[in-house]
Amino acid sequence: MKKKVLEDLNVKNKKVLVRVDFNVPVKNGVITDDNRIIQALPTINYLIEEDAKIILFSHLGRIKTKEDKQNNSLSVVAKRLSELLDKEINFVPETRGEKLETAINNMKAKDIVMVENTRFEDLDGKKESKNNPELGKYWASLGDVFVNDAFGTAHRSHASNVGIATRLETAAGFLMEKEIRYIGTTVENPEKPFIAILGGAKVSDKIGVIENLLKISDKVLIGGGMAYTFMKALGYNIGDSIVENDKLDLAKSLIDNSEGKLILPVDIVVAEEFSEDADYRVTKYKNIKPNETGMDIGPDTIKQFKKHLKGAKTVVWNGPVGVFEFENFAKGTKAVCEILAKMKNTKTIIGGGDSAAAAIQMGYKDDFTHISTGGGASLQFLEGKELPGIESIDDSVDCDCDDSNCDC
């Protein structure tokens, strides 16, 4: 998969539209995790150095009511970006119209304009998230070229990514390029042995991912809430643990057709209530009591995972293996972080979402080859699906022709 990248574009004095993913968590008007903003800085700094006029587009949160609009303005993000760049950001609290157009037309090289939350266009008719052609055409008219650096929305066909890309010369930003290189290459041609670790609550969220990874990996290690559906499908007692009873036949089928690649926990940490301070114990499945809930993988499972991971050249991890938000039940997830952090000759990739949040929260941010910024996008990539946001980026042109008149 070869796509046009940022350095392929001529951006000097050009109005460069950039789709970034600044969908960051905000509580009481304060950003609680600015990782996605930080990840976009290389692309923005490059454009500043190349004398571009930079127009930033992003969404923030879900916009269904007027109250949502009040609580999800990108103004707080513009302020944080200004601090990180040590540079003024011209935030325009509009998604279209004369005020926005004037701000863009008055730009000089190295200036940055940030457009208000693109999802504000969804309040009256889903214009953004339904890739309204009129909206995509309007936004494209504001610039000369387009850079898509928002992997977190790559699995969606929206006006602010696909809608603009179909009307302008389009390249991948540095973050998007990195996501394609690490996750895309792993799916297409992983260096073996290739081990996948999957956690999270539901089998149904990752059916396609499990099926695809069983085809291309050497082992798939299962933890988290989804493990209990698999264990019940095998006839084990799971107490009061989370389970998808309508997916038991599917889980059994995945196990039967896995050729021994699917590895399930051998012991678990259980508690009688879902709380941080609950009393807990480690047990085998056969000894779980009816009123006990599985909260984490146990020490024997950690040892088993470590054994299977030994010697791996590629590891992809998506989904925590326990209730990592509670300290007493974060030991399994932390152990996975520690094991992967010590695998220095292995390509280690976290596929976004809660596993990425856990790794960063636990202090392992710099110990992985790549931590993806897109949960849903990562899942679809791992599933082997085409992502509209990536497909709409122009293909690169490889040309070995020495003829100056050659236009291959």
> Hey, which residues are catalytic here?
36, 202, 353, 376
- Measure the N-to-C terminal CA separation of the chain; round to a whole number of Å: 18
Distances (CA, A) of 215 to 1, 179, 194, 195, 298: 20, 21, 11, 12, 28
Residue 312 contacts residue 343 (beta carbons within 8 Å): yes
List the helix and strand counts (H, then E) for the chain. 16, 17
Q: Which two tokens mark 50? A: 């190349």
- Residue 29's Cβ-count burial label (10 Å; 0-12, 13-18, 19+) is exposed
**CA–CA separation, 353 vs 199, rounded Å?**
11
**CA–CA separation, 260 vs 273, rounded Å?**
34
Q: Which residue is listed with tokens 């006839």?
A: 235
H helix or E strand, kind and range, residue 92: strand 90-92
Residue 133 contacts residue 74 (beta carbons within 8 Å): no
**CA–CA separation, 393 vs 382, rounded Å?**
19
State the angle between helix axes of 331-341 and 353-361 in degrees (0 to 180), rounded to the nearest 10.
80
SS3 content of the chain, % helix, strand, coil (to 5): 40, 15, 45
Residue 136 contacts residue 164 (beta carbons within 8 Å): yes
Residue 31 contacts residue 80 (beta carbons within 8 Å): yes
The candidate with the shortest Cα–Cα distance to 275, out of 315, 225, 325, 231, is 325
**Pairing, β 194-198 against β 219-222:** parallel
Residue 42 contacts residue 174 (beta carbons within 8 Å): yes
